[in-house]
Chains A and B, each alone.
Chain A
């Protein structure tokens, strides 16, 4: 997956987790928490969805890497393979 696809994959997960949030204008370099009502339970869901959809394991020591869309892309670059994507 290229960077744009990875970013879209994260946005798709957030849209599924928080269907009331508008994810169309998220800024890539601002912490997701500051743009939406996401708490630690929601970040756990993002991690679990990454594992479920793409088989990626994010150890809890790496959760900080998921703070912004940009940092998500940097961290997940090369780790995501689109083959098993499912909803």
Chain B
């Protein structure tokens, strides 16, 4: 049987594209290498508990009835009701730096007020930047690529504020080190600062079951453990794929979410890519990868008491004393840097624990409480992680024995002076020879790096630990270099230089769950449903 379309990858973009095609009676099959769908936004079970991979929050949250927003556009294209997503908003989030912090939530005025409080002389520049962002049409695929840093600096003269505003946007979506393309910056600014964060009660698996169920109801076919070995082309035209098993599947269209460089490789380097990606080389696979640790707590975090926690922690004392408003732990997400100059780049060490994202999903306004946990994401060096030897036995991260000292929590929140400085020794940085050792070491260091500067010490409450490294990302997604945000080069229109082969997902330049799904939708519409022949209806 010949399909109208083959979709490579059952992530958000693949599932959304599949729904669109199946909705209009196209014969479509989604091929997923892994035994579970979701791609970068998946889920798993560990020691009897359910975890999400990747998902901190859904960005782009707007309430029902908001006009012309990505979320409402997505809902209509997939014909879902807003309430079906079962979304609950964040409490608030923090950008936490040594010399300042900024709070934001799903009301843009909160961030604006915080900028005025912490950087009163920058507020006019902030407003001018906001106007420029609002006026920019990020959907114009032909807009020239310019540096976001350059444009932001025309308005924001304080480097600390500039770095703080970039921090969440880069962590949630920059494939480029230090800078972002302006259009990407605008997309992220709108989706994070002007729209907002939310989460379904059940996390990402709820979104995924909604999408897979809809796809199957419409007659779409989903094949798991069906890795694509090759994209077959004939005279510059995609005609199907060959699976790892040797099976050949033919189709008129192939939509790939495997990534730009990866897809080009699958097609044997055939075709002439469009100008914007022509310069792409295999070494331009994204360099930015992450580690992620999850700590399940026995009880929720206590409220932060900065003066108590700061005592006796020499490495943090100075840092904490310059904060003008202490972070509170009912925050949903904390974007932190232990340096005022924010460094968003591939670290020389295995992992940069001094900046990252802390997520506490229990702090979304969920109707039913969930297990309290702290999720810390740091930038990591893919090459260093993959070069490590496996080591003996399991690579499970263990709870250090010093963390289990009884009564420690009451001391932390009570008489802090009683806590000896050496209660939690900083892990020995030399003990990272094997993968197992490195995981243990960097778990402990990533926790040490955020407490108590950004949230109160939770180590005595840790019940269960899990950790992802760049190795895990490549294993689960096939993205080269463990690159979460793909290649810095994006094919905005999805074109690959091969007729019938379209790129979607991360390397098309859309980010987050909503962005990825919209990318799949727009590519399915543009290249399969419209067949490239329909102009804009009813302007």
Which A residues are within 8 Å of any B CB, using their own CB? 16-20, 33, 37, 39-45, 47-48, 52, 60, 63-64, 66-67
Contact = CB atoms under 8 A, between A and B. Distances in A.
A39 B534 CA distance: 15
Interface string B58-99: 000000111110001101110111100000000000000000
A17 B79 contact: yes
A67 B538 contact: yes
Interface string B508-539: 00000000000000000100011001111111
A15 to B, nearest CB: 10
Nearest to B530: A44
Chain B interface bracket (under 10, 10 to 19, 20 to 34, 35 or more): 20 to 34
B47 to A, nearest CB: 39
A20 B64 contact: yes
B109 interface: no
Nearest to A31: B538
B80 to A, nearest CB: 7
Contacts of A19: 75, 79-81
Contacts of A18: 76
Q: Is chain A's interface secondary structure helix, strand, loop, or mixed overall?
A: helix
B25 interface: yes
Contacts of A60: 533-535, 537
Given A63-B538, A67-B538, A39 B25 contact: no
Interface of B: 24-25, 64-68, 72-73, 75-77, 79-82, 525, 529-530, 533-539
B399 to A, nearest CB: 46
B4 to A, nearest CB: 14
Given A17-B76, A19-B81, A44-B534, A37 B67 contact: yes
A15 B82 CA distance: 14
Contacts of A48: 24, 529
Nearest to B72: A37
B436 to A, nearest CB: 50
Contacts of B24: 48, 52
